[in-house]
Amino acid sequence: MSEKRCTECHVLKALDQFRPRVKTSKGGQKGEPNAICEPCEARRRTARQAREARKRKEPVEREHIPDKQRKRIAVDLDNMPDTPPGLEKIPTSDLGEISVLELTDKAGDLKAPYYAIAQVNAQATAPAEGTLGLRGRADKVAGLIGLAQGLHWTYSKHRTLKRSRDEIAESFWYHCAQSDQREANAKTSGSSKARDTRRMPRFPCNGWLHVTVREHSDIMQISIKHEADHLPYVDITIPTQWKEFIEQHARSQTPGKIWQGILAATGGRDINFKSSAVYYHWTKVTRKDWRLDNDPFVSARKFIEARGADYKIVLMDIKPEPGTRVLGFYIQDFMDAWATHTQELAMDSTWNTNGGNFELFSAVADANGAGIPLAFLFIHTEKDANTAGAKQTVLERFLHELKARGVEPEYTLTDKDWSEINAMRSVWPDSKHQLCFWHALRALKQRLCKNKDAPAPYQPTEAKRQFSFIDEHFVPAAQQPADGSHRVSAVLLH
């Protein structure tokens, strides 16, 4: 294949526009074409150098102005420079005084890189904008410009400008929603677990838009900069009609069922949003039903107390230890039907799955190879609290509640968490305890994969003492003498 699509600008280009990789990485092997074309790499380097230069720039010494005089200083909007500092190398387009309709036509024809200024006469739309206020008028113009350009201008901040005592202007600043400089860091819990989220494509366009609006004037001053053309903006928000559809079915259907209904109604065509957006809006709609307090523990307890009977959930009376908060509950139907028939009981917990330092323990009974969840326990450990042994004590109280309801397993099962193992042994001392087979296999694979970590020297005498069937003269290849003999040295034997 003689062509490749750049992952930065998403344009299909000849292979000679991609530099070869200098080393092997996750992205590809050494010598293969890079994922990003040379022009995009050059733009990245330029943007990085500009950021580094701004960081190194020393603060400019300003002339001292008394506070009383500073308040009287006004910005002369009519004498502002045509090209702000830093934009001298970008072509400047002065669109002059034009109407809103002319602005949208000319804005759509601009080709990056460009810096354009204009005075827009919004008199034709003034009656409709009279109730919008200065911010509303600026937002409307920014929306029209973005629609003509295939971009989305996101509001950032504003400045109040004064020409005189009686005339006030507001300058509203927007940035291109697809600019890589404006990308927010993803919110994660600190784990490397992948998240099923849709990330907007980002580009080194450094785009911004300034709209200056006066209180008693229909003339708006527009300045806009965009350094690189890129893919048009795609609105992935849920349209109003589908928001209403979700709200109508939120309390009778799951998000998955609602998503299937949307696909069936549209045939899967002309849908810019994903199932995750449906789940998010469904959560917002149903949140008021289950979020009864800002504190998650208080909210969960209130929900179970108020509506637990509807879902066959019963609170368990488990006393917390100092520095911990505890919430336990069991499934009434499963407990009544299977507690006394439990032959094997497994307990495991989630870890590092939320940002609130919660651990969720589950007690699952085996039923002919299938698992029946009997009860669950939330434990929250306060930071910097002395909680040594607290988790084991709480787990013992949790398991005693199960024992009081008829759970007497012949086998217990956990991973290699000593607080879980000790709690199981304390409550059911006569039961045979086993480690989880999956966890054991994983531990073996992880250990065997560590080629760089040399194990301790093999001691055949010690091995023979513990296991009589071991050949005392066996020596691992790594400990055999250089001459090839298989003799066991006196150091190893004694």
Question: pLDDT tens-digit profile of 337-390?
Answer: 999 999 999 999 887 666 667 889 999 999 888 899 999 999 988 776 677 888
CATH, residue 438 = 3.30.420
DSSP string, 1-33: --EEE-TTT--EEEGGGSPBPSS-BTTB-TTSB
What are 456-480's pLDDT values in tens digits?
A: 788 888 888 888 888 888 888 777 7
Same domain membership, residue 151 and residue 213: yes
Cis before 476? omega within 30:
no
Count of CB atoms situated within 10 Å of the CB of 328:
21
Residue 206 DSSP class = -
Query: Residue 308 falls within a domain, yes or no?
Result: yes
Judge whether 184 lies within some domain: no
Position 129 in a domain: yes
In sequence order, the 6+-apart residues with CB closer than 8 A to the CB of 459 are: 492
Please indicate, yes or no, if residue 193 is contained in any of the structural domains: no
pLDDT digits (tens, 9 = 90+) for 58-92: 443 434 434 444 333 333 444 444 445 555 556 67
Whole-number Å distance between alpha carbons of 164 and 166: 5
The pLDDT tens digits for 405-461 are 999 999 999 988 899 999 999 999 999 999 888 878 888 888 777 777 767 788 888
- Note down the domain range covering 482: 460-493
Sign of the torsion angle spanned by Cα atoms 408, 410, 411, 417: positive
pTM higher than 0.75 for the full model? Answer: no
Do both 117 and 165 map to the same domain? yes
302 & 326 share domain: yes
Together in a domain, 212 and 144: yes
**Segment 8-57, tens digit of pLDDT:** 777 778 888 888 888 887 777 788 888 888 888 888 888 888 778 776 65
Query: CA torsion, points 138, 144, 148, 153, in degrees to nearest 10?
Result: 50
Does 118 fall in a domain?
Answer: yes
* C-alpha count within 13 angstroms, C-beta hemisphere, residue 264: 7
218/329 same-domain check: no
| pLDDT band at residue 123 under the 50/70/90 scheme | low
